Structure 1
Amino acid sequence: MREIHDAKTLTSFLDSATTLANVVLLNLDLREHATALRALDVRDGVLLGCELEPTDLADVVLRGALVFPRIEGLPYEPWRSALYTPDELFSGFSADDPCTYCDTLDARVYAHFRATGGADEAPMLEAFARRLHDHGITEALESLLAKHEQVVAFMGGHSMRRDDPAYLAVARMAAELAADGMLVATGGGPGAMEAANLGARFAKADDAELVSAVRMLAEAPLYKDRDWLAAAFRVRDTFRSVLAKSPTPTLGVPTFFYGHEPPNAFASWHAKYFANSVREEGLVSLATQGIVFAPGSAGTVQEIFQDACQNHYGTVRGMVSPMALFGVRHWTEKLPVLPVLAQLSRGTWEDRVVTSDDPRAIVEFLRAQGPRKLDRASWSYCGAFCRE
């Protein structure tokens, strides 16, 4: 079905259309177009979250259109059709007063999320609205990914300090890969995720400028620090002209499930979900060029084995994607996942796993390897015992 999301496209469509069949009008103000709608055959047309006067709404329903009305009283738009930007999520925030974050869209949606059940059972209408929202985010994300053939993800701990040497190392790796033309994606949060989004934004800047930016950020090293977000805004302001000269896109995929951690201010876009399970699986799946796993804790370990499972069974486009574990001691002693990965990958995709302390080795590994087709058996229960 054709989807129409904006007023300009709608006007052009109505100028020549005779039927609304197989057309979806999404989150549009149709009150000025009521006359044009009355002239259309609206059967098999769909209106999602559109505004119409009551009499005009009744008319299109009686003539055969499928209508889902707007859901009022929410701080977010259920019929959303675009990714968020940091400027939208943080609108109203001032670095001079970090408490202004509480008035931002990001904070208001999280407060509403908690007040309506959080990750537990939400009221039916709220649960429905969240799922509509997340579906729209997924569609917008897929549209973005269609423009980027190579996507590399960075995952790691949200508690990584900005003054940790690993933070700068992650930023530098992301900068190099983004300079190669890869879209750098992260979980959109603080710590290692912020480092990668920051590095990608500085892909075409001088390394000295990236180092200077990290030093400024390190004045508020942890996401729990009062000035954590303010420091990021000061960096954006200080280096605005540098970033504007050669903007490099980078993606965050955060979640309101972890809304106590604000998203970082350096992603170009945030695909922010309510459902963390959808976000986790999607983030691991989109990284066809590979994933860098920086030091982290339980969440990063979960992501490692989600990626390993996808590689093992070839569930994402039948491909095996590289897994680069940054921090030998962390992944072999502190959280020894490497022996399990070695056993899982033996004989099939062990060539797509590396562990190293050397950022240059990680970058070269991802450049050299890339995704590889995995031979998958075509057996199915129906095909084996019955006619397909």
Structure 2
Amino acid sequence: MRGKKVPGSTTDQRLLDSRGSADWVHTDPWRVMRIQSEFVTGFGALAELGPAVSVFGSARTRPDDPTYELGTRLGAALVAAGYAVITGGGPGAMEAANRGALDAGGTSVGLGIELPFEAGLNEYVDLGVNFRYFFARKTMFVKYASGFIVLPGGFGTLDELFEAVTLVQTQKVTSFPIVLLGTGYWGGLLDWLRATARTVGTVNEADLALLTLTDDVEEAVAAIVAADGSARGGLRGVPRPEDPLP
């Protein structure tokens, strides 16, 4: 560059100059870097997690709700089967599953999301990652889990549920069990899928078979173990405390 094309400042000078507009941090090219950083952070935090199960459920579940107690039992049962527990890290049913896992001496993971009405991770998370972007967070739920167990929940839970079913249906993931825990809550949804969606041909019986419905925590965990094969009361190949040493 010569003449008028020579810039009046150097690249280093512009980098180190703290003055001027900060609008650039909200531009799309910079967002790409933020998205990349979320994937790097998530992969780094969870890479050595080991077998895990993602548990979904409503943030609005109160501690005196039977679903909360169900969630704590589920968290403990998953730990007993050799799994870490991954949730969205929020309150309600997510907190219950984290609490059950932590109290049982297991690894309790929370993948939080930036929301205007939810503040921070619940106190029972001992490994947490916060995300700005739902799609980056959802990738972690699937990548590091051996399956999903879904407690009663609202739109967010339904979103996570049907995204998981779609990934299995389209063979984007394999051997990925999805368990709905709570027949009274989820039964109507499955009835609609059978009576309406299957009748008009938008889903078929094989699609419906991707979902397991139960009220029993042990049955829910057994469905994960049966499909996974990597944990059964302890990691395969790793002796449990009660096992004799080789």
Instruction: Identify the TM-score tier after normalising by the shorter chain.
Output: 0.7 to 0.9
- The one of the two structures with greater contact order (alpha-carbon pairs below 8 A, sep at least 6) is 2
What displacement does 1:167 show?
0.7
Whether contact under 8 Å (1:332, 1:338) holds in the other structure is yes
Match of 2:69 among 145, 158, 168: 168
CA 1:123 to 1:314, structure 2 compared with 1: closer, same or farther past 3 Å?
Answer: farther
171-180 vs 294-303, which moves further: 171-180
What displacement does 1:275 show?
1.5
| Corresponding position of 2:156 | 299
* Identical aligned residues as a percent: 25
SS at match of 1:264: coil
Match of 1:347 among 194, 203, 206: 206
Deviations 1:116-163 (A, max 9, x none): xxxxxx954135666544433321321333213422000010100111
Q: What amino acid is the match of 2:224?
A: L
Whether contact under 8 Å (2:114, 2:130) holds in the other structure is yes
Match of 1:255 among 113, 116, 122: 113
Residue 288, structure 1, aligned to residue 145, structure 2: yes
Deviations 1:185-211 (A, max 9, x none): 11111111111111111123xxxxxxx
Whether contact under 8 Å (2:56, 2:157) holds in the other structure is yes
CA 1:124 to 1:289, structure 2 compared with 1: closer, same or farther past 3 Å?
Answer: same
| Corresponding position of 2:94 | 193
Q: What amino acid is the match of 2:48?
A: K
TM-score by length of 1: 0.48
Deviations 1:59-114 (A, max 9, x none): xx9xxxxxx968979xxxxxxxxxxxxxxxxxxxxxxxxxxxxxxxxxxxxxxxxx
| Corresponding position of 1:266 | 124
What displacement does 1:283 show?
4.1
Whether contact under 8 Å (1:185, 1:252) holds in the other structure is yes
What displacement does 1:251 show?
1.2
Match of 1:310 among 147, 150, 167: 167
CA 1:252 to 1:129, structure 2 compared with 1: closer, same or farther past 3 Å?
Answer: farther
Aligned residues: 211
SS at match of 1:355: strand
281-290 vs 269-278, which moves further: 281-290
Counterparts of 1:71 and 1:133, CA distance in 2: 22
CA 1:181 to 1:278, structure 2 compared with 1: closer, same or farther past 3 Å?
Answer: same
CA 1:153 to 1:72, structure 2 compared with 1: closer, same or farther past 3 Å?
Answer: farther
Whether contact under 8 Å (1:186, 1:283) holds in the other structure is no
Q: Which runs of no fewer than 5 residues in structure 2 stay unpaired?
A: 1-9, 230-246
Q: What amino acid is the match of 2:121?
A: P
SS at match of 1:253: strand
Give the structure with higher Rg (CA).
1
TM-score by length of 2: 0.73
Counterparts of 2:77 and 2:18, CA distance in 1: 45
